[in-house]
C-alpha cells in the first residue's frame, strides 16, 4: 500500500510519517536532490538556457 501526503510546508507531514515505524518514508525534496546530485534547480536552469 502506498500513502502520499500533500500539504503546505511546515504542516507536520514529516512529523506524522516519522511516527509510523513500519513504513518506508520517502521525502520528495530529498529524493529529488539525491537523483539530481544535489542541484535540482541548477538542472532546470541549464535545460531552459540550452533550449
Sequence spans of domains, the chain: 25-51
- Cα–Cα distance measured from residue 33 to residue 44, given in angstroms and rounded to the nearest whole number: 12
pLDDT at 19 over 80: yes
Q: What percent of the chain has pLDDT over 70?
A: 76
Please report how the helices 40-50 and 28-35 are oriented relative to each other, as an axis angle in degrees rounded to 10. Answer: 60
Q: What percent of the chain has pLDDT over 90?
A: 0
Residue 37, all three cell numbers: 546530485
SS3 44: helix
Question: Tell me, what's the pLDDT at 9?
Answer: 80
How many CB atoms are located within 10 Å of the residue 10 CB?
A: 8
pLDDT at 21 over 70: yes
Amino acid at each position: 500500500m502506498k500513502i502520499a501526503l500533500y500539504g503546505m510546508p511546515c504542516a507536520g507531514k514529516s512529523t506524522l510519517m516519522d511516527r509510523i515505524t513500519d513504513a518506508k518514508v520517502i521525502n520528495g525534496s530529498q529524493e529529488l536532490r539525491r537523483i539530481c546530485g544535489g542541484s535540482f534547480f541548477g538542472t532546470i536552469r541549464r535545460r531552459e538556457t540550452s533550449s
